[in-house]
């Protein structure tokens, strides 16, 4: 018992003050592309080191979430980040958003980053957002993976089991475009080929703060902090 | 018919024609004989050669001697039948099911030839009795985890049988690898299992390097294994956190969870990705580990080491934790051996199997990490093995940071050799990762075979919960923490 208390004391308080302040990312972190020549599709980009080929450079900016598929195409340094939900939906979900996660293929990298949002460092719960065990308890779905043929039916059923109104969030380049598996005959190419999507969060996988930024953005919670 | 054994090294390539080819009956006999004399099935897979014939190929590992032998059988045309090895060699069970599914071969006498990744025409095993009941979960689970379907046949709380149906994550990885450019294939290899990016990434690089006779700079080899051990640490520590959550020991679960992040963040310092993406590339690595970063890593690792020791001590000295873990989900050494388990799942059953030692690759040829084993084979053993391995990995990293060779980071590989086969084994954090590639006469990859350690180990979970209480399942499941994506490909 004393050991546990002593350890608790030693471990201290670990939750980061995001979004009040944004922790700095390491130099090699690959965030939003800037200095774009031509265009970059954030939904297809795997954020790998060799991708730019002189057409853009990676910045340290972790904010990447957009509301519309066409906003994924970056033409210059501007990005049209996701907008807040309309007033009515915001009234419903603004203080409490329950999400059901569906892994529909992919490599599990995106799940790992979603999982991490529950730990004390990010502490998703303090924003009123929670992952729940059943679609029946959920206000929305978070989908990862390109939607494999084997998962298509399960995804549709989960979507149908979620009561209206609901929001759907596609996390990771797989769920947006098929990601690294683009071209495979075993997959659909992204969640929006199966269900309508309201928020796209690019990355392979997106950093937990990228996901958090997206969620807080649609709930209009960013400037309140 | 006898033939001369053909031995290969880990990370080597050889002309396809050197592989001894025999008829099906001798092939079968050879596998059984090798496995009776200390061998283990590292891989068993089919491929279509350019002569349009179907071949089966076996890779046998003689772990004690550190030798790998390779041989193949040419299958006759038309509908192919193959007499199942499984009744006498249980570790062949999933390999045979996979071959049946991929090539339409009829495996005669296989005890349960059900699909591996396809879901067509399949009805689940069922016990019909008024006293038993069935519990089915998945593919969409309650937590944030990958999809799989679990069917329990229960008598009261007791599990009589657990059937695990996978394949939901099937993305067609092997097929893709032979269709896309090597640049893209590298990115797919990094996405075979998202928590094993370095493991599978290194295996893929080794294959390409072997097929192109590329000598990887020592500095790059060193950075790769540093990243590999960081990956092991992040996952082992994360798993201990997950076990704590399941037991309900929440403070410790939170500390382990945070600590896992420290290792992921080191990986992000190194290559910009918390999971090691973009680090390994054929011919070397894309990022250096300079003096400043080495100092920073050392400082952070020492801190993490201290934290880890304290938290692990707290975990393992709490009697309620021990009583929950001990004797739960036990696998005997004999079962582990028969099933061909690998990685920590095998080492926690007192089987000394570790690719880092048995078939040393990369920098492990010069640097050694002692193999840990635990005897009891239960959840406790699988937790303890992670603690031991994590400790050794941190110690290893602290030493390795002092010994990073200088020189180049990357040596661009030249073209692949035509009609060659290559093998690469890597000890990922879950165990033995095995990649095999075959090039055609035009030097293109014509067959790429991936085996994630989960492929060997999933069956162990079914057996671990047999006779246990339903409530033991989550704990047993976490104690293996197997990959769905790596299995489903
Ligand atoms: S987007 Fe990348 S990290 Fe996420 S599931 Fe797909 S391959 Fe894995």
- A-B C-beta contacts closer than 8 Å: 172
User: How close is the Cα of A70 to the center of ligand 1, in Å?
Assistant: 21
pLDDT tens, N- to C-terminus, chain A (225 residues)? 677 777 777 777 778 778 878 888 999 999 999 989 889 999 999 999 998 888 899 999 999 999 999 999 998 788 888 888 888 777 878 788 889 999 999 899 999 999 888 877 788 888 888 888 888 888 999 999 999 999 999 999 999 988 888 899 999 999 999 999 999 999 999 999 999 999 999 999 999 999 999 998 888 887 654
pLDDT recorded at residue B263: 96
| Residue appearing with tokens 């000598």 | B215
Instruction: Decide: A107 in ligand 1 pocket, CB within 6 A.
Output: yes
3-state secondary structure chain B: CCCCCCEECCCEEEEHHHCCEECHHHHHHHHHHHHHCCCEEEEEEEEECCCCCEEEEEEEEECCCCEEEEEEEECCCCCCEEECCCCCCHHHHHHHHHHHHHHCCEEECCCCCCCCCCCCCCCCCCCCCCCCEEEEECCCCCCCCCCCEEEEEEECCEEEEEEEECCCCCCCHHHHHCCCCHHHHHHHHCCCCCCCHHHHHHHHHHHHHHHCCCCCCHHHHHHHHHHHHHHHHHHHHHHHHHHHHHHCCHHHHHHHHHHHHHHHHHHHHHHCCCCCCCCEECCEECCCCCHHHHHHHHHHHHHHHHHHHHHHHHHHCCHHHHHHHCCCCCCCHHHHHHHCCCHHHHHCCCCCCCHHHHCCCHHHHCCCCCCCCCCCCCHHHHHHHHHHHHHHHHHHHHHHHHHCCCCCCECCCCCCCCCEEEEEEEEECCEEEEEEEEECCCCCEEEEEEECHHHHHHHHHHHHHCCCEHHHHHHHHHHHCCCHHHHHC
End-to-end alpha carbon distance in chain B: 37
pLDDT at B274: 95
Residue B191 Cβ contacting ligand 1 at under 6 Å: yes
A57: contact with B, CB 8 A cutoff: no
Best residue of A108, A154, A158, A159 to probe chain B, by most B CBs closer than 10 Å: A108
Residues 161-220, chain A: which have Cβ within 8 Å of B?
Answer: 179-181, 183-187, 204-205, 207
* Residue pLDDT, tens place only, B383-438: 999 999 999 999 999 999 999 999 899 999 999 999 999 999 999 999 999 999 99
A204: Cβ below 6 Å to ligand 1?
A: yes
The two tokens of residue A217 are 């953005």
pTM: 0.94
Question: What pLDDT score was predicted for residue A223?
Answer: 66
Q: What is the tens place of the pLDDT at every residue in B239-269?
A: 999 999 888 888 888 889 889 999 999 999 9
Gap from CA of A81 to ligand 1 centroid (Å) = 21
Residue B83 forms beta bridges with which residues? B108
Spacing, Cα A4 to ligand 1 middle (Å):
37
Decide: A180 in ligand 1 pocket, CB within 6 A: yes
pLDDT digits (tens, 9 = 90+) for B105-162: 989 999 988 899 988 777 888 888 888 888 888 788 888 888 989 999 999 889 998 9
CA–CA gap between residue B308 and residue B316 (Å, rounded): 12
Q: Where along chain A do its domains lie? A: 1-225
- How far is B272 from chain A, CA to nearest CA, in Å? 4
A19 Cβ under 8 Å from any chain B Cβ: no
Chain B within 8 Å of A112 (Cβ-Cβ)? yes
A102/B140 touch (CB, cutoff 8 Å), yes or no = yes
Q: Which fold has domain A1-225?
A: Rossmann fold (3.40.50)
State which fold the B173-480 domain adopts: Cytochrome-c3 Hydrogenase; chain B (1.10.645)
Residue A146 C-alpha to ligand 1 middle, in angstroms? 9
Show residues of chain A in contact with B273, CB under 8 Å: 30, 47
* Ranges of residues in chain B whose predicted pLDDT is under 50: none
Residue to substitute in A51, A169, A179, A188 for testing ligand 1 pocket (most ligand atoms within 8 angstroms of CB): A179
Q: In the prediction, which pLDDT does A225 show?
A: 45
CATH architecture of B7-108: 2-Layer Sandwich (3.30)
A20 touches chain B (CB under 8 A): no
Integer CA distances (angstroms), B205 to B94, B230, B413, in order: 26, 18, 10
Tokens 């591996």 identify what position?
Answer: B116
Determine how many CB atoms are found less than 10 A away from the CB of residue A190.
27
Q: Which residues of A touch B143 (CB under 8 A)?
A: 115, 131, 133
Instruction: State which residue of chain B sits closest to A30, comparing Cα positions.
Output: B272
3-state secondary structure of A8: helix
d(CA B254, nearest CA chain A) in Å: 7
Sequence ranges of the domains in chain B: 7-108, 133-165, 173-480
């Amino acid at each position: 018992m004393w050991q546990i208390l002593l350890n608790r004391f030693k471990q201290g308080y670990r939750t980061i003050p995001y979004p009040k302040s944004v922790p700095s990312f390491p130099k090699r972190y690959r965030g939003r592309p800037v200095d774009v020549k031509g265009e970059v599709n954030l939904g297809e980009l795997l954020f790998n080191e060799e991708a730019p080929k002189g057409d853009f450079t990676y910045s340290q900016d972790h904010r990447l979430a957009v509301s519309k598929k066409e906003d994924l195409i970056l033409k210059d340094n501007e990005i049209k980040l996701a907008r807040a939900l309309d007033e009515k939906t915001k009234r419903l979900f603004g203080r409490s958003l329950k999400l059901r996660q569906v892994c529909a293929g992919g490599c599990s990298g995106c799940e790992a980053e979603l999982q991490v949002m529950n730990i004390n460092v990010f502490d998703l719960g303090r924003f009123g957002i929670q992952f729940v065990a059943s679609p029946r308890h959920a206000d929305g779905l978070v989908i990862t993976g390109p939607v494999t043929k084997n998962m298509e039916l399960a995804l549709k059923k989960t979507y149908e089991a979620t009561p209206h109104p609901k929001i759907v969030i596609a996390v990771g380049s797989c769920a947006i475009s098929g990601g690294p598996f683009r071209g495979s005959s075993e997959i659909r190419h992204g969640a929006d080929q199966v269900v309508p999507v309201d928020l796209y969060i690019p990355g392979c996988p997106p950093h937990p703060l990228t996901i958090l930024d997206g969620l807080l953005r649609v709930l209009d919670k960013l400037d309140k902090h | 018919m006898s033939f001369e054994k053909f031995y290969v090294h880990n990370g080597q390539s050889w002309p396809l024609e050197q592989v001894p080819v025999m008829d099906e009956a001798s092939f079968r006999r050879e596998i059984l004989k090798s496995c009776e004399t200390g061998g283990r099935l590292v891989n068993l897979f089919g491929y279509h050669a350019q002569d349009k014939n179907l071949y089966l190929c076996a890779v046998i590992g003689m772990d004690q001697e550190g030798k790998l032998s390779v041989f193949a059988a040419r299958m006759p045309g038309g509908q192919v039948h193959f007499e199942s090895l499984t009744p006498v060699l249980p570790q062949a069970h999933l390999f045979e099911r996979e071959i049946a599914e991929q090539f339409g071969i009829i495996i005669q006498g296989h005890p349960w030839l059900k699909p591996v990744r396809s879901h067509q025409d399949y009805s689940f095993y069922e016990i019909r009795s008024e006293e038993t009941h069935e519990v089915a979960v998945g593919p969409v689970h309650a937590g944030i985890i990958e999809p799989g379907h679990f069917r329990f046949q229960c008598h009261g709380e007791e599990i009589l049988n657990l059937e695990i149906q996978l394949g939901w994550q099937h993305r067609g990885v092997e097929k893709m690898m032979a269709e896309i450019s090597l640049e893209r294939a590298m990115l797919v290899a990094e996405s075979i299992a998202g928590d094993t990016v370095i493991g599978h990434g290194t295996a893929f690089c080794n294959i390409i390097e072997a097929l192109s006779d590329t000598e990887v700079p020592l500095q790059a080899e060193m950075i790769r294994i540093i990243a590999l051990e960081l990956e092991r640490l992040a996952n082992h520590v994360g798993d201990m956190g997950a076990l704590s959550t399941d037991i309900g020991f929440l403070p410790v679960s939170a500390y382990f969870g945070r600590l896992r992040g420290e290792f992921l963040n080191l990986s992000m310092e190194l290559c910009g990705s918390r999971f090691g993406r973009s680090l390994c590339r054929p011919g070397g690595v894309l990022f250096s580990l300079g003096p400043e970063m080495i100092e920073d890593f050392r400082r952070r690792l020492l801190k993490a080491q201290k934290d880890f020791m304290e938290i692990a001590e707290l975990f393992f000295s709490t009697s309620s934790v021990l009583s929950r873990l001990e004797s739960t989900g036990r696998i005997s050494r004999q079962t582990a051996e028969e099933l061909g388990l690998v990685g920590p799942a095998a080492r926690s059953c007192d089987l000394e199997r570790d690719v880092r030692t048995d078939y040393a690759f990369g920098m492990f040829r010069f640097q050694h990490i002692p193999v840990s084993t635990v005897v009891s084979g239960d959840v406790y053993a699988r937790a303890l093995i992670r603690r031991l391995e994590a400790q050794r990995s941190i110690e290893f990293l602290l030493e390795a940071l002092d010994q990073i060779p200088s020189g180049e980071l990357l040596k661009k590989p030249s073209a692949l050799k035509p009609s060659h086969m290559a093998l690469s084994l890597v000890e990922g954090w879950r165990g033995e990762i095995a990649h095999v590639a075959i090039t055609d006469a035009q030097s293109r990859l014509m067959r790429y075979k991936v085996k994630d350690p989960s492929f060997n180990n999933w069956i162990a979970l079914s057996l671990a919960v047999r006779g246990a209480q339903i409530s033991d399942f989550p704990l047993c499941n976490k104690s293996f923490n197997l990959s769905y994506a790596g299995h489903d490909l």
